[in-house]
Structure 1
Amino acid sequence: MLWHSTPTIPVQIRVHHRPPQRKEGRVLRDYDPPIDQIPRNYDPSLHPFEAPREYVRALNATKLERVFAKPFLGALDGHKDGVNCLCKDPTRLSSLISASYDGEVRIWNLSQRTCVKTLQAHDGLVQGLCCHPKGNKFFTCGSDQVIKQWRYTMEEEMPDEPVSTILGKTVVQCIDHHWSDDVYATCGDQVDIWNEARTEPIRSFKWNVDGVHHIKFNPVEKHLIGGCASDRSIILYDIRGSSPLRKVILKLKSNAIAWNPMEAYVFTAANEDYNLYSFDMRNLSLPINVHMDHTSAVMDVDYSPTGKEFVTACYDKSLRIFPTDKGHSREIYHTKRMQRVRIVKWSLDNRYILSGSDEMNIRIWKARASEKLGTLSIREKTSFNYGEKLKEKFQHHPEIKRISRHRHVPKHIYTASAELRQIRMSKRRKEANRRAHSKPGAVPHVPARKKQIVREVE
């Protein structure tokens, strides 16, 4: 067989000469390909597999989120007794003040995770701790009936002695500072309003209760105070008035209260019945939401700076993060060594959570468990935002919903959750049976939000 070679046809190559261009700091030469914008047609008929492709991407993003979910960052150890109080510095993100049951107060540098100063503030346990809005002083109160004011600085050596000491008439349970004025409030047998320049309270409030164990100033309407009393009530005060405003009585006692920093009229109370109740202070007869998932008494609550979420500390040795508009938590944090959590704080940069517990440690957590720390490139930010939108788009699909909701929890929380679920189902079944075998209207339908409310008092 003979092979015939095809004659070569000369091809004329036309070279386009164009001026040099710049791309990201470098000069494009003649041999670089031209920069052309490729238009995209969004017609659905041209992209028949767009939805399946995006579903797979959303599923992968959800799985990767659970793979990289490692919220625990580190612990600050040094206290010799359980941590009872934490205080955020309103002017420094890297500073934290903590107090323990043995009367010791420590000042921490969070960026270096070191203790800057140790003070023996009180003879007994420290009941309350708060910081001045300017960040130059802080206040403590203890079971020794003493209120102390301390000078606070991170640039130079702090004095070991307090600036002023006030001996109260009774044990002070909690203390909180006004968000702008030189005024702070304490609670015990009654709620007292103090001026920093005086040794006697300028105003006192009492409403036929044995005692108030927790108070908190409103960060928006700064003259309002919310307090939790021993008669299972939540009381609202206005420091410009002469008497308390109103109160609502629940079936069980509330341990702590937190105001939403973005909605002046909304606050959330941590209750002994394992739930949290969000109220609108304009109508206390019915909570706007009930947040449940804990399996023991909720000890503390704190809002994020955005006001969209809050974190809770519980006696069941765990932390939970709740969206403000949902009844169940989106995240649960726990470790093997962590004991009953007494206090929790959300950092002012909305990225970290600080918790203090009975085994003498202060733990640092990420507010978003799978978030990458450090600087992100533009491609990483774009990929993350794209994945978040895909997860939001397909959040109700069964497989994605199952993966995003699944959490490994300790055995005692798992068994307690199952037991509480059986108790609630049993109560619901008994109520339905009584309604079915009674006269019409004899067993009325009571909303779940209203079952724990006894009455509102004005």
Structure 2
Amino acid sequence: WDLASRKCLANLEGAHSKKVSGLTFANDGVTFYSCSTDGTVKSWQAYPSSSSDDEDMATRHGPMTTYRAANAGSFQSIDHHRSDNLFVTASDSAVDVWSPERSSPILSFDDLWGSADTANHVRYNPAERGLIAHTSADRGFGLFDVRSQSALHKVVLSMRANALEWNPMEPMNIAVASEDYNAYTFDMRKLDRPTMIYKGHISAVMALSWSPTGREFVTASYDKTLRIFPHRAGKARDTYHLQRMQRIFTVNYSADNNYIISGSDDTNLRLWRAQASQSVGKQATAREESALRYRQTLIRKYKHMPEVKRINTSRKLPKFIKSQTALQTVQKVSRQRKKDNEFKNSKPGTVSFPVERNKVVVKKVE
């Protein structure tokens, strides 16, 4: 696709026999890889030359090479290394590291801390060359070290982790999208509790993506909304939704930090502005930029005043989202009232109030 013209440049029909579960570009910006639940990984050329029009290829774009792993089953996710010519895949049985020059994995992590569950998401760390993070169907996510060829740490959450992404500017931090309607950020040096909880969705968070600046990230949810969270705040600064948009399963930031691309269950890709009030298509004059900075300064200065805070944070939401949010609030108040009554009518020291962050991680596996 070409975002500027909103046109489809190429349609690779029959690329895989089953669902395409992952795509990633190589470092050269020309080669990209696709993985599928049919058990294959294929490499393609985004800009084929006239010499690449070979009769042996299904399309002008490829596939150039097909990769298969023994007992891999179906591939669920793929990611390419930032600097080295390597890519990593997550499958039913293992997390595999591949070299484009070889038809089989050069390294395979098949013993996922004694768990036989599917690895459903995998990502390379943007700074540590040999560090890989993955999520699995047993509600856990773990870290691998390629240099020592060993599994480092794994934590099991209270509910399943659907996706994870490393912060590009603070690569020790990792964001996790969870089935419990929340997103979490963890410090890889201390995985026993999250550093922040991001709330607001009323259904499972299916995907997330960091902005290139690392100061905020966007989440895609089963409740048919996108939410943009500042890194240091647990509440979304903006919520995007449409009447016809269905459940959202993938989301990504553009490299210039100006746009967000989402893919939903209604078979559509949508392009959103990262800043909803930002003008597009014309260059702002110096006077307009000065006025915009002045308004933003006023908002930051008076954002704690009740009226300014209400205007600045309020967003129009669908009736279904409002009703479910109100229901969740009532349920939370009821649970808190029950806990208070239990505390009042029990012996001192028998009832405790655990911190919410301590309840996210069930156990840590070395």
Structure 1 residue 222 displacement after superposition: 3.0
- Specify the code of the residue in structure 1 equivalent to 2:79: D
The aligned residue for residue 31 of structure 1 is none
The aligned residue for residue 249 of structure 1 is 156
| Selected match of 1:275 from 182, 185, 205 | 182
Structure of higher CA gyration radius: 1
Distance 1:203 1:427 in 2: 48
Distance 2:226 2:139 in 1: 24
Distance 2:68 2:155 in 1: 32
Q: Trace 1:17-56 onto structure 2 (pairs within 5 A).
A: none
| Selected match of 2:249 from 339, 342, 352 | 342
1:439 aligns with 2:340: no
Structure 2: 5+ residue stretches without partners = 54-58
DSSP 3-state at the match of 2:217: strand
Q: TM-score, normalised by structure 2?
A: 0.93
The aligned residue for residue 284 of structure 2 is 376
The aligned residue for residue 164 of structure 1 is 65
Which stretches of structure 1, 4 residues or longer, exceed 6 Å deviation after superposition?
Answer: 154-158
| Selected match of 1:331 from 229, 238, 253 | 238
Structure 1 residue 161 displacement after superposition: 2.8
Q: Trace 1:156-305 onto structure 2 (pairs within 5 A).
A: 159-168=60-69, 169=71, 170-188=73-91, 189-205=93-109, 206-207=111-112, 208-209=114-115, 210-305=117-212
Q: Trace 1:420-435 onto structure 2 (pairs within 5 A).
A: 420-435=328-343
Over the residues paired in the alignment, what is the CA RMSD in angstroms? 1.3
- Specify the code of the residue in structure 1 equivalent to 2:221: C
DSSP 3-state at the match of 2:11: strand
Q: TM-score, normalised by structure 1?
A: 0.75
Structure 1 residue 231 displacement after superposition: 1.1
The aligned residue for residue 45 of structure 2 is 151
| Selected match of 1:142 from 36, 44, 55 | 36
Distance 2:307 2:338 in 1: 34
The aligned residue for residue 53 of structure 1 is none
- Specify the code of the residue in structure 2 equivalent to 1:146: T
Structure 1: 5+ residue stretches without partners = 1-107
Q: Could you list the per-position Cα deviations for residues 252-278 of structure 1 after superposition, in whole angstroms to 9, with x for gaps in the alignment?
A: 000000110111110010000000110
Structure 1 residue 338 displacement after superposition: 0.3
| Selected match of 2:3 from 110, 116, 124 | 110
- Specify the code of the residue in structure 2 equivalent to 1:196: P
Structure 1 residue 160 displacement after superposition: 4.3
Distance 1:304 1:216 in 2: 16
DSSP 3-state at the match of 1:139: strand
- Specify the code of the residue in structure 2 equivalent to 1:350: N
Structure 1 residue 154 displacement after superposition: 7.5
Contact 2:24 2:32 in 1 (8 A): yes
Distance 2:85 2:362 in 1: 37
The aligned residue for residue 56 of structure 2 is none
Structure 1 residue 310 displacement after superposition: 0.1
Identity of aligned residues (%): 42
Structure 1 residue 452 displacement after superposition: 2.0
DSSP 3-state at the match of 2:331: helix
- Specify the code of the residue in structure 2 equivalent to 1:117: A
- Comparing 286-295 and 149-158, the one that deviates more: 149-158
1:119 aligns with 2:4: no
Contact 2:48 2:61 in 1 (8 A): no
